[in-house]
Amino acid sequence: MIWCYRLLFLPILLISLPYYAYRMWRRGGYARDFAHRLGRFPQLPTPTTGTKRIWLQAVSVGEVLAIGPLIKALQADNKIEIVLTTTTSTGYAEASKRYKSSVLAVGIFPLDFWLFSKTAWARIQPTCLILTESELWPEHLHRARAQKIPAYLVNARISDRSFARYQKVSSLAKRILSKFDHIFAASKLDEERLLQIGASREKLSVSGNIKFDVPLPEAITSETKTTLLNSLGFSGESVPPFVLLGASTWPGEEAILLLAQAKLIETGIDCRLLLVPRHAERAQEIITLLEAQSLPWHQRSKSLSPAQSVKIHLADTTGELTQLTQAADLAFIGKSLPPNQGGQTPIEAAGLGMPLIVGPNMNNFRAVTKSLIQAGAARKVANQAELIEAIFHLAQDTRTRQSMHEAGLTWHQQNRGSSQRIASQILKSFFL
């Protein structure tokens, strides 16, 4: 199988190159250490006797943020050193900022072609692999198996789309999954799907989602929130305004939130809209929407603080969602309204006690969303009209929002601890 993969890799890469080149150009930052993608990682010294070197791969910013507690738990054993790689330019920047002083090295994951992979392996010299979520790289895993190096998949998730694809090539999926020494599923649903596409029950367990273990700031005081609101240009005339957050929004969703804001303002509610798009490079597209309406607005990438009070704050920056979420009274989780598919993670916002509204397409977080709704911390809407109606009612229902706030905090606390469980099991099996 590996030779078929190697033969097909380059033609497929060449065909898809224009698409990925366009994405790299839009997002920027891909020129930095591009040689890593070709396997030319800085040469690392050979691990000393008794030391285990873990090559940990996290795709993008979300995974980079999530692995912090896992890294800390693994490094409780001083014989462990970690080489962290990531795929996206934003993930690489975040990993460098957060972990460069606490891990052996930070770099970019090589393209999964045999020559690039071989070069990277020779330079990194790992003695253990950890991949996250849905990272199934055949060449990478083949090298681990060939060198008798243990490989683990943590926080394993299988989205609806991926599940449908793997079912069509179940024999191939089974061969890839067999390369792992153990798979830690993020939920019971993910475990069931992994079993259906060929994972071995003996090598599979449900550990929970490591994103619950990401440290969150303590609840802010009313005075601190007022300061934050003022910094956003959301100073109220007499009482604090109602702040609606669009968290990690995708195309089409900002326009709907603008309609919801307009409806609230028409009824006399001082609604301020905080837009945090998932991809900052979409700023100009959103600016076009803002220029077509009459409410005053501010673009955060131009200045952190508006010169005057505004009704809309466009936070087209990276890494600030946690801080900005604390300014809101109600949040909509993006990428969840048609035609968008998949949804962004609601875990952090719920952990901050934010009442949540999600669209129907939270496919990538199906189990998480279901449990949030059952806990009373989130509401699901089917379409644009229902979203606007839900925002309208919750904006006026302080008691229900408070109940959702408390439910989110409890739900988040009850689901913590998976990073420690995973690290303990890996370290135990690693040193047998």
CATH code assigned at 110: 3.40.50.11720
Signed CA dihedral, 392, 394, 399, 402: sign only: negative
The answer to whether residues 126 and 35 belong to one domain is yes
The answer to whether residues 391 and 242 belong to one domain is yes
Domain contains 290 = yes
The answer to whether residues 249 and 109 belong to one domain is no
Q: Could you count the other beta carbons within 10 Å of the beta carbon of residue 399?
A: 7
The answer to whether residues 247 and 265 belong to one domain is yes
Domain encompassing residue 364: 222-414
CATH of the domain at 389: 3.40.50.2000
The model's pTM is: 0.86
Domain contains 251 = yes
Q: What is the DSSP string of 207-240?
A: ---GGGGS--PPPPPHHHHHHHHHHTT---SSSP
Q: 289-314 b/e with 16+ CB inside 10 Å = b?
A: bbeeeeeebbbbeeeeebeebbbbbb
Domain contains 9 = no
The answer to whether residues 410 and 425 belong to one domain is no
The answer to whether residues 266 and 401 belong to one domain is yes
The answer to whether residues 397 and 291 belong to one domain is yes
Domain contains 300 = yes
Q: Tell me if 351 sits within 8 A of 358, measured CB to CB.
A: no
The answer to whether residues 366 and 274 belong to one domain is yes
pLDDT at 307: 84
Domain contains 184 = yes
The answer to whether residues 306 and 393 belong to one domain is yes
3-state secondary structure of 81: strand
Domain contains 190 = yes
pLDDT at 426: 94
Domain contains 2 = no
Domain contains 3 = no
pLDDT at 423: 96
Averaged over successive runs of 10 residues, the pLDDT of the chain (432 residues) comes to: 76 70 65 88 91 94 93 91 94 93 95 94 97 92 95 93 88 92 96 95 95 92 93 83 97 98 96 96 96 96 91 93 96 97 95 98 93 98 98 97 98 96 90 56
* Counted domains in the chain: 2
